[in-house]
């Protein structure tokens, strides 16, 4: 026992002169280029065990269900799109084909979607398709019919998930006795097209942000993390008021007991004028290609003002960005980032939980950054060119990290050659860990971005500590 204790203590010691180092991130950077798909709303991306991502979404004609597949999320942008089902020419399932989702359950493919009828386009109900075959783009599809619920009323946005070996269905529906549009409901399932037991209402639009334009809770989506179940939902009118709310419960709790769910009093993902993203919502979740990062999938528009009914505006588009997690295990959605390459975070090699962030325009390294976007930067082509990079702020587009008197600040690009040179860096392998990154000044070769007393400077590293201070990991 004494020997074991000595070995353990030896493992905790740091050699004299060696700086402490933070853990290599479990979830490295995952970046994409937005938008992934134009004129595709209510997006759902499902990663299957065959190595493909499957993508479906609402088309603006509201007349069919389409699928794409690719081995990467970005590849979905250019993947062939196949129509697997078309609306009926008359009767039910003949209008308003909305919000398809694709799932693989017990060896078969299932697509959940909502549809109206030719005699009443607003008689929206939920339906299921079943597909057999390895590839759903070429599968044989059959209609399993309507998902029956407590009422024959406006219902849509079905999604399914498993917790603790139990399969559930979550959806949005109008309670005929209540003066609002839709609430979010949950029930267990007897099979992929049939609920069982008594559904429970998880959320009703009661906050002002849930009732902007219309009293709406819809589009539930589920992600599990750290022993908890998180359910996002969309709220408000489908214009710039559209946003995401969040419900949460313990994965070990009875999910059909509403007392076990808590609801955020504020929206978790909203329009952002700085990045020109409006009405983010109706999301789903997937994972990055390496399986180590969660990815938020959603739609929005690039402009605020809409002429006429938002449902007639075709320009909702599919977007993706990495989803981060706070120290307490809750999701941090950040902001809907600007079009183009998605941002990343830079964590310190030797300062535990420390991230590069801007605060009152001064660049520093700090733990527990809030808001998240203060620590997100887009690595873009260097303003001075020549195989270099510049780091653009996620929440202040057009503002870049630049050195001034060898201090690093976040400032707006003034278009001068001096600014371009000061805001341009050579991205090198990490000085203390080749798996990390170090940023060498473009116009002062040999000087690197490093933290000192939590502030960032551009200095020449000469010691082991200096090199550690100048090493970061992309997350």
What residues are annotated to the active site?
42, 218
d(CA 279, CA 177): 29
Strand segments (E) across 35-179 = 41-47, 53-58, 64-70, 82-86, 92-105, 108-117, 125-132, 140-146, 155-163, 166-173
d(CA 400, CA 383): 10
DSSP 170: E
- The answer to whether 447 and 439 have CB atoms below 8 angstroms apart is no
- The answer to whether 52 and 76 have CB atoms below 8 angstroms apart is no
Nearest Cα neighbor of 357 from 198, 349, 224, 348 is: 348
Per DSSP, the residues of 344-404 read: B-EEESSSTT-EEEEETTEEEEESS-SSGGGG-EEEEE-TT-SS-EEEEESSSTTEEEEEE
d(CA 225, CA 208): 29
Pairing of strands 33-34, 346-348: unpaired
d(CA 202, CA 103): 23
Residue located via tokens 């004028």: 273
Those residues with Cβ within 8 angstroms of residue 71's Cβ, 6 or more apart along the chain or in another chain = 51, 52, 53, 289
Query: CA-CA distances (angstroms) from residue 9 to 2, 14, 19, 24, 176?
Result: 11, 10, 18, 22, 66
Residue located via tokens 């406006």: 154
Query: CA-CA distances (angstroms) from residue 82 to 25, 67, 203?
Result: 38, 5, 35
d(CA 402, CA 396): 14
Cis amide prior to 371 (ω within 30 degrees): yes
Those residues with Cβ within 8 angstroms of residue 259's Cβ, 6 or more apart along the chain or in another chain = none
Token pair listed for 240: 């710039």
Those residues with Cβ within 8 angstroms of residue 309's Cβ, 6 or more apart along the chain or in another chain = none
């Amino acid at each position: 026992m004494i020997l074991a204790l000595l070995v353990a203590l030896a493992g905790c010691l740091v050699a004299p002169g060696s700086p402490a180092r933070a853990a290599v991130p479990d979830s490295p950077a995952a970046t994409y280029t937005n938008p992934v798909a134009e004129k595709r709303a209510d997006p759902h991306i499902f990663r299957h065990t065959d190595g493909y991502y499957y993508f479906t979404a609402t088309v603006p004609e509201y007349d069919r269900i389409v699928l794409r597949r690719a081995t990467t999320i970005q590849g979905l942008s250019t993947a062939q799109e196949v129509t697997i089902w078309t609306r009926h020419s008359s009767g039910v399932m003949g209008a308003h084909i909305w919000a398809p989702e694709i799932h693989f359950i017990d060896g078969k493919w299932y697509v959940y979607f909502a549809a109206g009828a030719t005699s009443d386009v607003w008689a929206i109900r939920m339906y299921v398709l079943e597909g057999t075959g390895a590839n759903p783009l070429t599968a044989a599809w059959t209609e399993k019919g309507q998902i029956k619920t407590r009422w024959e009323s406006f219902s849509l946005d079905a999604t399914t998930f498993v917790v603790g070996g139990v399969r559930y269905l979550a959806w949005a529906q109008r309670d005929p006795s209540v003066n609002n549009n839709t609430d979010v409901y949950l029930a267990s399932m007897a099979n992929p097209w049939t609920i069982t037991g008594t559904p429970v209402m998880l959320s009703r639009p009661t906050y002002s942000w849930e009732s902007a334009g219309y009293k709406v809770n819809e589009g539930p989506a589920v992600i599990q993390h750290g022993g908890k179940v998180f359910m996002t939902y969309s709220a408000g009118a489908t214009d710039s008021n559209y946003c995401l709310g969040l419900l949460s419960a313990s994965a070990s709790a009875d999910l059909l007991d509403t007392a076990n769910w808590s609801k955020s009093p504020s929206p978790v993902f909203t329009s952002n004028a700085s990045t020109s993203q409006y009405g983010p919502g109706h999301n789903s979740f997937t994972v990055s290609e390496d399986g180590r990062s969660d990815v938020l999938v959603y739609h929005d528009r690039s402009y605020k003002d809409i002429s006429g009914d938002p449902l007639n505006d075709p320009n909702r588009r599919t977007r993706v960005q990495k989803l981060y997690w706070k120290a307490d295990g809750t999701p941090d959605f950040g902001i809907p980032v600007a079009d183009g390459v998605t941002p990343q975070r830079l964590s310190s090699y030797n300062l535990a939980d420390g991230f590069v962030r801007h605060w009152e325009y001064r660049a520093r390294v700090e733990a527990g950054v809030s808001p998240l976007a203060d620590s997100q930067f887009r690595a873009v082509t260097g303003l001075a060119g020549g195989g270099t990079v510049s780091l653009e702020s996620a929440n202040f587009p057009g503002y870049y990290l630049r050195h001034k008197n060898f201090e690093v600040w976040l400032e707006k690009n003034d278009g001068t050659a001096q600014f371009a040179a000061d805001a341009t860096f050579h991205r090198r392998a990490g000085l203390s860990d080749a798996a990390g990154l170090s940023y060498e000044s473009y116009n002062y070769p040999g000087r690197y971005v490093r933290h000192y007393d939590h502030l960032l400077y551009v200095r020449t590293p000469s010691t082991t500590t200096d090199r550690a201070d100048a090493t970061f990991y992309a997350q």
